[in-house]
Amino acid sequence: MPDTEPQTELEAPPMVAYVFESVNPVLLGIDPETWIPTLEVNVARAILALAAVDMAKVVLVVSGDMVTSIRERLPEHQRDAFSDERGAGTLGGKTMCVGDEVHVLMPFWLYAETEAAAAMMPEDEAEEFRAGAGARIALARRTVVHEAQHVLMTQKGEAGFDITDSARARRDFLFLAHDVIDEYRAELGVAADLRAAFEYEVAAETLPAFREGLRREVTAYERHRNVETLMYGVLAQAQHAWKALANVAAARRVGAVYEQISASGTDWSRLAAPYWARFEALLSSAPAPAEHFEPEAQRQLMASVADLFDEWIQELGFLWRDIDGGRNAEFLITSRHIVG
């Protein structure tokens, strides 16, 4: 009788489908004849599968051209408006509904095979790239965990909301509120052990980039004189900043950081400080992605955050409001104390 237990084969974890778009397989360390995914691509597929309600309707897309891949999945009338600008940040992953599927788009460089990619770089860049291999793997996993929360919320029916019955300006503020709350909730699903220390504070570049973005939109308006373009530009700059601040609020909640935020300086005092405490308190009522978000509670939180954003943008010197009983709307520059 054998004195050891018989060995059993390890079962492969569940994994979602995958697609490569505009990618050189050599850079990923993939055989161009087979396109069999690497370990890290399969880790991402497994993370998404474990989070999904229906993994059969989730696709991981590794893209060498994120803007094109995203635009191709947007309705035609929205494609030209999409860009990868994110204020002081950069576009990481993106989760999108495509028919009855959920596609998670990830930039190819997160999965680049270190030596294959380094071989195509100047030596000084190659050494830096090699040194960052561990950090790149950690970032890839952290990013896909975040996107997995969007998959979960989407498949639970909590990532969309009908706000078409609101007047135009109010609808925009509600949309911004929903977008920021959705981002905040996704960040709640990223555990503390996946986070870097800097995530618990407002990045030094976030608010200066916000101020400069607003100034840039106003300066451009003085040339083109298109009020609608100005409005969209100002709200886009605010959206980038609010989402960055929401990420900090989520990190503080996940990491159980309760002391007063240590941000300081003129930009903090003028652009964020008056509203930070209320912003963080409102978002703290949102549940983590794995928890149910009652539709009425979601509507109420969206309305409260939309009210805050309306006040916030006015404090910055802009007014976006409905007029004529909601039949029209107007956007005004009411002060230049921020943009100079």
- Check residue 85 and give its pLDDT: 66
Same domain, 194 and 84: no
Residue 340, Cα to own-chain centre: how many angstroms?
Answer: 30
- pTM for this model (two decimals): 0.91
162 found inside a domain? no
- Check residue 32 and give its pLDDT: 92
Same domain, 203 and 60: no
Residue 143 reports pLDDT greater than 90: yes
67 found inside a domain? yes
Rg (the chain; Cα; Å): 22
Q: How many CA atoms lie within 13 A of 182 on its CB side?
A: 23
Same domain, 97 and 194: no
Same domain, 268 and 305: yes
2 found inside a domain? no
Q: Lowest-confidence range among 13-17, 88-92, 104-108?
A: 88-92
Which residue in 149, 172, 163, 174 sits closest to 288, CA to CA? 149
Same domain, 58 and 147: yes
Same domain, 195 and 306: yes
Measured CA to CA, the distance from residue 63 to residue 61 in angstroms comes to 6
What is the mean pLDDT of the segment spanning 310-321?
Answer: 98
Give the DSSP per-residue string, 15-61: --EEEEES--GGGGT--TTT-PPPHHHHHHHHHHHHH-S-GGGEEEE
Measured CA to CA, the distance from residue 218 to residue 276 in angstroms comes to 25
Same domain, 61 and 153: yes
CB 261 within 8 A of CB 201: yes
- The helix (H) or strand (E) run that includes residue 63 is strand 58-63
| Domain encompassing residue 53 | 12-157
Which residue in 246, 245, 205, 58 sits closest to 144, CA to CA? 58
CB 283 within 8 A of CB 246: yes
228 found inside a domain? yes
Measured CA to CA, the distance from residue 308 to residue 314 in angstroms comes to 10
4 found inside a domain? no
Provide the 3-class DSSP secondary structure of residue 333.
strand
Same domain, 239 and 297: yes
CB 245 within 8 A of CB 279: yes
What pLDDT, in 10s, does the model give residues 163-181? 877 899 999 999 999 999 9
Confidence at 89, pLDDT banded by 50, 70, 90: low
Last residue of a domain, one of 157, 178, 210: 157
Residue 247 reports pLDDT greater than 60: yes
Number of structural domains, the chain? 2
Last residue of a domain, one of 138, 157, 176: 157
6 found inside a domain? no
Confidence at 34, pLDDT banded by 50, 70, 90: very high
Residue 1 reports pLDDT greater than 50: no
216 found inside a domain? yes
Same domain, 215 and 120: no
Last residue of a domain, one of 157, 182, 209: 157
Same domain, 271 and 223: yes
What pLDDT, in 10s, does the model give residues 225-242? 999 999 999 999 999 999
Same domain, 100 and 213: no
Q: What is the DSSP letter of 289?
A: T
41 found inside a domain? yes
Percentage of the chain exceeding pLDDT 70:
95
Same domain, 222 and 328: yes
